[in-house]
């Protein structure tokens, strides 16, 4: 829990504070459910099934909240997307509410499982391909295990609820620990340019750090949208750089408005390079202001963008 609270504080300058709060709530409920069912065994099987399914539904909320983490719609997203998702997926609990005095085992029908699976893959898959890929995979498996114990299509003899829920709890704990370790580890980057067939492919240290941290923090969905916007500006303003998944890539040819490349026959002038670097910083700040506070951006961008000497020379 201390790890989650620290994570919540680390995201205070971003729009992901709500998602972090959802994460704390879901882990607290998961822990309480495990204590009541797995440790103390103070509840019956029917009630345990319902509590575990409610836990699985709430576990989807943090990742789903990330998909709407853009100002000014981030608060509206919670009411018009996250909350309806909870109500729809939790409908089997409402149907069986009258049986809580002596509830039978909860069994989820195939349409419910399909809908739950789609939401799980869509939300957790946002972090596949980022620094938190392993955590996202472990989280997906853990939540799927919880739901598998309630699947109507799976024979009872193939499902051992206690073992699956135990392993699900272990995998969730591993996902949190690995995610925390990944957040602390800064990927090693180099600003050295690479020359190949007359083109320099250089990385801008400050811009790359900002882009990489944003991509890892907000996931591939928002990262792709920002990447498309930046490359659209790069094409329109004829930069010497384009934003790829690994960061900014510089060339000694200009990108023409129709998407092709027109060779100048020599490297761009220092003044034009500096102008492009300034436009990159300005564009990043302008686009990311909907997701992050200036303090979060400044911490990663540092001072003015530095163009590698190999490209200038």
Q: What is the pLDDT along the chain (313 residues), one digit of tens a residue?
A: 667 777 778 888 999 999 999 999 999 999 999 988 877 776 778 888 889 999 999 999 999 999 999 999 998 999 999 999 999 999 888 776 665 555 677 888 889 999 999 999 999 999 999 999 999 999 999 999 999 988 876 666 566 788 889 999 999 999 999 998 887 765 444 333 333 333 333 345 788 889 999 999 999 999 999 999 999 998 888 877 888 888 888 775 444 434 444 444 344 445 566 677 778 888 999 999 999 999 899 888 765 444 444 444 4
Say how far apart CA 71 and CA 209 lie, in whole Å: 22
Answer yes or no: do 39 and 180 share one domain.
Answer: yes
Query: In terms of domains, do 30 and 172 share one?
Result: yes
The answer on 116 and 82 residing in a single domain is yes
Identify whether residues 27 and 138 lie together within a single domain: yes
Residue 121 is part of which domain span?
Answer: 2-184
pLDDT value of position 257: 39
DSSP output for 264-291: -SSPPPHHHHHHHHHHHHHHHHHHHTTT
Question: Is 144 part of a structural domain of the chain?
Answer: yes
pLDDT (0 to 100) of residue 312: 44
What is the pTM (predicted TM-score) of this model?
0.82
State how many domains the chain has. Answer: 2
* Euclidean distance between CA atoms 221 and 224, whole angstroms: 5
pLDDT of amino acid 261? 43
- What are the phi and psi torsion angles at 243 (to 5°)? -95, 120
- Residue 143 maps to a domain: yes
Q: Report the pLDDT value the prediction gives residue 108, as an integer from 0 to 100.
A: 86
Which two three-digit tokens encode residue 49? 């099934």
Residue with token string 């329109």: 236
- Tell me if 125 is assigned to some domain: yes
Cα separations in angstroms, 1 against 21, 27, 180, 221, 225: 12, 8, 12, 28, 33
The whole-number pLDDT of residue 262 equals: 44
Out of 153, 184, 215, pick the residue that ends a domain.
184
Cα separation, 101 vs 98, in Å, equals 7
Domain boundary among 184, 211, 244: 184
Tokens representing 79 are 């009411």
Last residue of one domain, picked from the residues 135, 151, 184: 184
Residue 293's alpha-carbon distances to 5, 58, 219, 297, 299, in angstroms, are 20, 28, 18, 7, 10
Say if 189 falls within a structural domain.
Answer: no
* Tokens 């114990």 -> residue: 149
Same domain for 159 and 291, yes or no, is no
Distance of CA 265 to the CA centre of its chain: 42
35 with 155, same domain: the answer is yes
Do residues 209 and 154 share a domain?
A: no
Q: Judge if 161 and 242 occupy the same domain.
A: no
Distances (CA, A) of 281 to 144, 230, 306: 42, 11, 10
Whether residues 199 and 145 fall in one domain: no
- Are the C-beta atoms of residues 52 and 165 closer than 8 Å to each other? yes
Is the same domain home to 211 and 246?
yes
Residues 179 and 51 grouped into a single domain: yes
Residue 244 belongs to what H/E stretch?
Answer: strand 241-244
- pLDDT given at position 68: 94
User: Do 21 and 165 have their domain in common?
Assistant: yes
pLDDT at 86: 95
């Amino acid at each position: 829990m201390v790890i989650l609270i620290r994570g919540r504080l680390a995201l205070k300058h971003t729009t992901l504070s709500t998602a972090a709060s959802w994460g704390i709530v879901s882990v607290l409920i998961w822990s309480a459910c495990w204590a009541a069912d797995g440790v103390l065994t103070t509840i019956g099987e029917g009630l345990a099934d319902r509590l575990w399914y409610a836990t699985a539904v709430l576990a989807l909320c943090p990742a789903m909240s990330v998909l709407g983490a853009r100002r000014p719609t981030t608060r509206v997203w919670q009411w018009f997307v996250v909350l309806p998702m909870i109500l729809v997926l939790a409908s089997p609990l409402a149907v069986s509410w009258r049986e809580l005095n002596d509830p039978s085992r909860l069994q989820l029908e195939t349409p419910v499982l399909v809908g739950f699976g789609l939401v799980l893959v869509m939300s957790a898959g946002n972090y596949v391909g980022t620094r938190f890929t392993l955590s996202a995979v472990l989280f997906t498996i853990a939540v799927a295990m919880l739901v598998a114990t309630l699947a109507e299509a799976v024979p009872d003899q193939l499902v051992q609820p206690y073992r699956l829920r135990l392993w699900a709890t272990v995998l969730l704990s591993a996902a949190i620990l690995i995610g925390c370790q990944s957040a602390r580890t800064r990927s090693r980057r180099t600003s050295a340019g690479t020359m190949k067939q007359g083109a320099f492919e250089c990385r801008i240290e400050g811009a790359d750090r900002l882009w990489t941290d944003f991509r890892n923090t907000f996931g591939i969905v928002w990262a792709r949208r920002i990447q498309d916007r930046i490359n659209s500006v790069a094409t329109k303003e004829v930069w010497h750089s384009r934003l790829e998944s690994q960061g900014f890539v510089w060339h000694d040819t200009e990108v023409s408005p129709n998407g092709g490349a027109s060779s100048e026959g020599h490297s761009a002038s220092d003044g034009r390079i500096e102008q492009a670097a300034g436009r990159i910083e300005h564009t990043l700040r302008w686009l990311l202001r909907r997701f992050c506070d200036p303090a979060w951006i400044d911490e990663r961008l540092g001072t003015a963008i530095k163009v590698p000497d190999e490209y200038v020379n």
